[in-house]
Amino acid sequence: MKYIQFLAIIAILGAITACGGDYRQRATGQPSEVIVVMDSSRIEGPIGAAITDTYGEYVRTMPRPQPRYDVKFRDFKTEGELERIQRSRNLIFAATLDEESNIGMYLRSLLSEDIQQRVRDGSLTGIALKDRWYRDQWILIYTGTDEDQIAEKIRNNSRPHMNSLANLELDRWTEEVYRRGEQPLLADSLWNEHGFKVRVQHDYVRGIDTTDFVSLRRYLPDNDRWMWVHWIDDVENIDFITDDWIHAKRDSLLEIYIRGSRPDAFTRTDKRRPHETKLVTINNRTTYESRGMWVMNDYSMGGPFINYVKYDETQKRLYFLEFGQFSPRYSQRRFLYQFEAIARTFATDSTYFERIAAQDTLNLTTSR
């Protein structure tokens, strides 16, 4: 009875935030870590397997495939264990509604009678909570009346929850990427000179800079990272874009600009390894996202890349934005997330050509 009373108190306190702002402590945990709270006797069952397959799906477009998220299962027997779990930044609670376990009792204390009835009716399986006990916290409850039914819903209907988690993780990565500073003057020069910008991390340096190609590099001997932007003007439509066209265009650019130390050394897509292209939405703009691995033409070295192709209708300009890395000693997943975070800061100037034309007119008038 005392334990159930404790659960009810925790549920009530979780709804309270400081008046005028949230001053609670921030949730803790490792990047890309998801803590799954389940009864230990059911982890090997259908629900545990569905969560592992969905959230722990392996990303194979990198040299050493890694799971999308590190899924870690936890059970609790004491109030102290529950309190420690509640500090986690990414949490999934999973149990059947009538389960006679600590987690089952806990979920019943969290959910109102109305919510429980909707669960029993089958109209509700995944219940999202946000910042329940701490700030910056993503929480999801998977429940229902039957384990197989819950597992099926997890496998087939988790995309919105996966997207919300991915967006929150990218917000965290954005904060981490620019925690030590950035280079607004470099970003402004890209804006003024070329009509686009990206928030530049504190230690990237400008490399190649031409009329249609700019590269930035963050070089360390055992962790070399770079990004580049290429643009094509006077593009009236993008009906011609395909996966094959993107990779062919990328390879032609890589051969010209992303080269090795020897005169005959250059990079290209490693077509021996998995690569994929899909449509995504970034900042309300439809974007082609390609992932895979680059390789030197003699196969002496290689690494992961992420490429984005996006179209600015106002500028009539097609952009390529690519990130690459060479870090054989390190896991690449965290850096790929950092690249995604940086890509979300890419912006274009809809008035660029008007601005350039006005400046040219002014220069012509002044020179007379």
Tell me the whole-structure pTM to 2 decimals.
0.88
Phi, psi of 268 (to 5 degrees): -160, 170
pLDDT recorded at residue 221: 80
Contacts of 189 (CB under 8 A, 6+ apart): none
pLDDT (tens digit per residue) in 256-312: 999 887 888 899 999 999 999 999 999 999 999 999 999 999 988 899 999 999 999
Provide the pairing of β-strand 33-37 with 90-96: parallel
Q: Tell me the C-alpha distance between 269 and 108, whole Å.
A: 52
pLDDT recorded at residue 250: 97
The domains located in the chain, with CATH, are 2-175 (3.30.379), 179-355 (3.40.1000.10)
Q: Tell me the C-alpha distance between 352 and 22, whole Å.
A: 41
pLDDT recorded at residue 17: 44
What is the residue whose two structure tokens read 């890209």?
190
pLDDT < 70 stretches in the chain: 1-20, 362, 364-368
Q: Tell me the C-alpha distance between 268 and 247, whole Å.
A: 9
pLDDT recorded at residue 365: 66
Quickly list H helices, 123-228. 147-157, 159-177, 184-194
CA-nearest of 346, 343, 256 to 306 is: 343
**Helix (H) / strand (E) containing 52:** helix 46-55
